[in-house]
Amino acid sequence: MKQPRSWIVGAMVVMVATAGLGQQMVTLKHDARARQLIRELKLKVLPKESGYIGIIGVTPERVDVKGRKLAVQSQNYYMLARDRPVNYLHWLEPADTHVLIEGGPVDYYIFYPDGRAEMKTLGMDIARGEQPVIAVPPGCWKALVLRPGASYALMANALSPEFTPDRVRIGEGPAWVKRFAGKAPWATGERLRGFIGPNFLR
């Protein structure tokens, strides 16, 4: 029996609305999971850089760094979520290795001391070039951006030697933007300025 056109249109509207509701339910579930992780892992907002951090600890072994005894390694939980999707540009003296635990993907924008710029993606879709582990060499700048559509990404990161507040620099200014502009197809002045965000140094 041939159905009236109005019935077909109505059925299509219901299907679209149902699909939208299903996606909304998935999103709410993922957001609830992010809140659960923040609560259970006791994650706190990371000032200036943004995102959420939880300190795990340091190794008992020590190494000499410019006359100081520092732990060989320190470890943290780090998370980006829908409300804090960007880890703003910062420079680290120690090496920094990130391992994806759950969620993602996250795009890593890495800026090397020799002037190179590179983008890598922390994620589980290896066939598409994503990597579950990203190691950033010492003395690099980096910014992290949660992929659109991702609700959160929980990571563990290990810094070697351990993190200390005097060996990190957050934000940069016009000279840094000029230095790296054009070093990769995505490295426009506007985008680089966006990576610095509220920490832009005038």
* Residue 202: count of CB within 10 angstroms of its CB: 4
The predicted-structure confidence for 20-71, as pLDDT tens digits, reads as follows 444 454 455 679 999 999 999 999 999 999 999 999 999 999 999 999 999 9
Top-tier CATH class for 44-199: mainly beta
* Residue 193: count of CB within 10 angstroms of its CB: 17
Residue 71, pLDDT score:
98
8 A C-beta contact, residue 151 and residue 31: yes
**Taking residues 91-116, what's their average pLDDT?**
98
In the chain, where the domains are located: 44-199
The predicted-structure confidence for 132-159, as pLDDT tens digits, reads as follows 999 999 999 999 999 999 999 999 999 9
The predicted-structure confidence for 35-46, as pLDDT tens digits, reads as follows 999 999 999 999
Residue 202, pLDDT score:
87
- As a whole-number percent, the residues of the chain with pLDDT over 90 amount to 85
Q: Does residue 75 surpass a pLDDT of 80?
A: yes
Of residues 149 and 2, more confidence is placed in 149
Strands (DSSP E) contained in the chain are 44-45, 52-58, 62-65, 68-71, 74-81, 86-92, 95-103, 106-111, 117-122, 133-136, 140-146, 152-160, 168-170
Q: Does residue 173 surpass a pLDDT of 70?
A: yes
Sheet holding 44-45, edge to edge: 44-45, 52-58, 74-81, 152-160, 95-103, 133-136
Looking at residue 52, its amino acid is Y
Residue 27, pLDDT score:
54
Residue 5, pLDDT score:
57
- As a whole-number percent, the residues of the chain with pLDDT over 70 amount to 86
CA atoms within 13 A on the CB side of 182: 2
8 A C-beta contact, residue 81 and residue 152: yes
Burial letters for 101-114: b for 16+ Cβ neighbours within 10 Å, e otherwise?
Answer: bebbbbbbbbbbee
In Å, the largest CA–CA distance within the chain is: 87
